[in-house]
Amino acid sequence: EVQLLESGGGLVQSGGSLRLSCVTSGFTLSTFAMSWVRQAPGKGLEWVAVISRNGGTTYYADSVRGRFTISRDMSKSTVFLQMNSLRADDTATYFCAKDQTPGADNYGSGSYYYWGQGILVTVSS
Amino acid sequence: QSVLTQPPSASGTPGQTVTISCSGSSSNIGTNSVNWYQQLPGAAPKLLIFTNNQRPSGVPDRFSGSRSGTSASLAISGLQSEDEADYYCAAWDDSLNCGVFGGGTKLTVL
């Protein structure tokens, strides 16, 4: 059974840093691209970042490029989102999502069947 | 302002067919596959349609997707009260080099 479990969220001051973790199980991380998607309170979904299945390619939304870094640790079956220089508008629930298509290179297929439960990040100004 | 444009709201009565539109451009919908998600309050999104018109296993055939040019649409037939949710379209954008979502459509079943 595929499971994605996020952790590392919480309250942080503007300008601070947080690292989110997404522990995965039930599949081989090297076979699928992995993404982060966020949702500000009462707002819509916003795509954040993706890491390719081989870990060699990453892409970011303009709103986080240069501040956020997506990475993974194969030995821990974990995907990370390092968030630096946090701003109030980064306040959101962050979801980890697994690409649907095994073996898809680059950004994957861009469709996500499995999602984590979400973790709340609150940035105070 | 979202890259993909959806109507903020839609509504229908039980049994009706409702269609939700998603308008993009040549760099996203015009080139890449469109996916649709359903989100119930307090829950993670659920994949409804992938690659424009494919349904994951377990998704009722009441849900269907289509794409034409730089627009896509999601149709829900035989509307049920449990379909009341937020719906989002999504695609990859080759110009922005990132994924993009529509702003979401809140569906109300009257």
pLDDT > 90? residue A15: yes
Give the list of residues 6+ apart from residue A124 with CB closer than 8 angstroms, or none: A11, A12, A13, A14, A88
Cα B55 to Cα A109, B28, B30, B47: the distances in Å are: 15, 20, 20, 8
Q: Which one of B32, B51, B101 has the shortest CB-CB distance to A45?
A: B101
Q: Given the DSSP bridges, would you call strands A112-115 and A3-7 parallel, antiparallel or unpaired?
A: unpaired
Backbone angles phi, psi at B65, to 5 degrees: -125, 155
Per-residue pLDDT reduced to its tens digit, A33-50? 999 999 999 999 999 999
pLDDT > 90? residue B1: no
Q: Helical H runs in chain A? A: none
Tokens 């998603």, located at residue: B22
Give the number of C-alpha atoms closer than 13 A to the C-alpha of residue A9, restricted to the C-beta side: 18
Distance in angstroms (rounded) separating the CA atoms of residues B67 and B50: 11
Instruction: Calculate how close chain A gets to B105, using CA atoms only, in Å.
Output: 9
CB contacts < 8 A (A, B): 69
Per-residue pLDDT reduced to its tens digit, A83-97? 999 999 999 999 999
Instruction: Give the model's confidence band at A106: pLDDT under 50 very low, under 70 low, under 90 confident, else very high.
Output: confident
- B35: helix, coil or strand? strand
Per-residue pLDDT reduced to its tens digit, B49-84? 999 999 999 999 999 999 999 999 999 999 999 999
Tokens (6 digits) for B67 = 């794409």
Q: Is B47 touching A (CB cutoff 8 A)?
A: yes
Backbone angles phi, psi at A48, to 5 degrees: -115, -55
For residues B36-40, give the mean pLDDT.
98
CB contact under 8 A, B39 and A45: yes
Nearest CA in chain A to B105: A44
Distance in angstroms (rounded) separating the CA atoms of residues A111 and A25: 19
Quick one: pLDDT at residue A68? 98
Quick one: pLDDT at residue A98? 97
Per-residue pLDDT reduced to its tens digit, A66-79? 999 999 999 999 99
For residues B41-47, give the mean pLDDT.
96
